[in-house]
Structure 1
Amino acid sequence: MEKWFGDIVADVFSPEKSKFKSPLILLHGLWTGNWCWDLWGTHFSNLGWECWAMNLRGRFGERAREALKELSFDHCVEDLRRIIRVPEIPPVLLAHDIGGLIAQKAVEEEKVSALILLSPFVPRDIPVIPPRPLRLFRLKYWPLFFFRRPFRPEPRDFNQTWLASLPEVERPRIFQRVVPESSQLISELFQRRVGIDRAGILSPILIVAGTEDRVIPPGALRQLALRLGAEFKEFSNHGHWMMEEPDGEKIVAEVHRWVMQTLGEEILEAEST
């Protein structure tokens, strides 16, 4: 079911009976949209969560391409902050890829009950040696950043980085839904312009990494966890696109368990306590 928050649209996954006071906001990453949460949104709703899988600008509407030409990191942060402000009780926020970096910035000023970062990009003060596939990816597409035109990578390049841990037979289905991305947004990311003020983040944080991630090295995420005072969980045989990798439901269960252990009855509906 679609739900509009002003000019921002989200897919809502509603449980048969809601168990929690707050919704679970799901934020996607680069070259994708809220469709990447279809499996996990269903898994979480089966556990009693109402999930709002939001779209950033440029993923919908007749003027999507024009929106992407102007899309910046700050625009994405503001879109997320607008959604965070909607619930009466601060939401739980789960964000992937660049969505994880957007989330870190957004919660400097907006309160969430808990923050889960799934293979997030890291702020500029965390040292990173990019995996070789990502270095080659960045080198190939770097000239496109200067044209300020949205683009999407070639299938082979996306498969060797973002989708590398997915079964090969699944990759074409996912790549068919990959959308163009803002070159300005990607340029800001690869030039590592974004800093985070840890003092402004008040919520408990969980960082989730995959041992086989070819986009974000797990070592950088361990450093991020230390920097943020976050709990860190690493999953063997998982890469960057955990939401649709085999056994992803086990990660959902671990995330759900962490939220319950961390927030306890604070997050439960009154009739469920």
Structure 2
Amino acid sequence: MLPGMDLEVIDKGHVTPPHPTPLLFVHGAWHAAWCWDEYFLDYFAERGYRATALSIRGHGASRTAKSLRTCSLVDYVADIRSVAATLGAEPVLVGHSMGGLLTQKYLESRAAPAGVLLASVPPQGIARFLGRMTRKHPWLMAKSMATGKSLRFFGTAQLAREHLFSTATAESDVRRHMARLNEESQRMTVDALVLRLPKVNRVTTPLLVLGADDDAMLTRDEVHATARAYGTEAEFFAGMGHDMMLEPDWKAVAERIDTWLGQRRL
């Protein structure tokens, strides 16, 4: 836990002359800091970065003073700000999925040195995603809406693979990662649908936008839309599912981020 806070933070490595800017990794819905600790944190720490990942409130070992289902996007962004403030310098944010949306919201009011969006929710929000989930799994969606519990979309190894992983991911890894997922906030779903969408014109931070060719959660069009909104081009990784940082070819993603940051002397 972070001293003086109820947030779980995994902090590895140190800033070095080649990489003087800390990295802050922001997980997506149903995940926590563990998804970055699997591979990415050690990879970047070994290359001279300070690599830090947080679990937003109600995720992983992070506590929440109120019901998780009522935690909002504003709450989650406040958690990112709290951790960023402890790093000694404004960090580069690396956000995955919902964490990409949180990163966009954070950058509305903070001029970070750079940001990376992995399989990120687009600025237009999750309306199209919810529509696809409803068509694919109407009964699961109906139960999720009625109970406020969406973890059921990953309730079996088959469902977890369908939504998060490629066919190349070992069954043992799918089951291991699936067991660490936790429930998500119902309020956050509403915020990401319509209430708290990013104000793109306020974001001035340069962004690297990365997508996965076999992503079942977000379409290529949505990743392209994110890149266009921020004046850049999307890059895609073949044969990779939504959880890009946990896929067998995760190192290709990490190497691309490392190269991009190095070009900016970060």
TM-score (norm: length of structure 2): 0.86
Counterpart for residue 180 of structure 1? 183
Structure 1 runs of 4+ with >6 Å offset: none
Letter in structure 1 aligned against 2:20 = K
Counterpart for residue 24 of structure 1? 23
Is the Cα–Cα contact under 8 Å of residues 208 and 234 in structure 1 kept in the other structure? yes
Note the C-alpha offset of 1:123: 2.0
Letter in structure 2 aligned against 1:237 = G
Segment drifting more, 36-45 vs 224-233: 224-233
Give the match's secondary structure for 1:256. Answer: helix
% same residue: 23
C-alpha distance in 1 between matches for 2:149 and 2:49 = 38
Counterpart for residue 123 of structure 1? 123
Asked if 1:256 corresponds to 2:255, the answer is no
C-alpha distance in 2 between matches for 1:96 and 1:53 = 12
Counterpart for residue 100 of structure 1? 100
Counterpart for residue 219 of structure 2? 217
Counterpart for residue 86 of structure 1? 86
Q: For structure 1, which runs of at least 5 residues remain unmatched after alignment?
A: 268-273
C-alpha distance in 2 between matches for 1:176 and 1:125 = 27
C-alpha distance in 1 between matches for 2:59 and 2:126 = 30
Give the match's secondary structure for 2:255. Answer: helix
C-alpha distance in 2 between matches for 1:69 and 1:148 = 7
Counterpart for residue 270 of structure 1? none
Q: For structure 2, which runs of at least 5 residues remain unmatched after alignment?
A: none
Residues 151 and 246 (structure 1), Cα distance of their counterparts in 2 relative to 1, 3 Å cut: closer
Within the candidate set 166, 169, 172, 2:172 is matched to 169
Q: Give 1:262-273 correspondences, 5 Å limit.
A: 263-264=264-265, 267=266
RMSD: 2.8
Q: Deviations over 1:136-164 (max 9, x none)?
A: 24762344335446755312323211234
Give the match's secondary structure for 1:237. Answer: coil
Within the candidate set 231, 234, 257, 1:232 is matched to 234
Residues 134 and 17 (structure 1), Cα distance of their counterparts in 2 relative to 1, 3 Å cut: farther
C-alpha distance in 1 between matches for 2:138 and 2:12 = 35
TM-score (norm: length of structure 1): 0.84
Note the C-alpha offset of 1:18: 7.0
Segment drifting more, 193-202 vs 15-24: 15-24
Q: Deviations over 1:10-37 (max 9, x none)?
A: 1011259674222100011111110001
Question: How many equivalent pairs are there?
Answer: 262
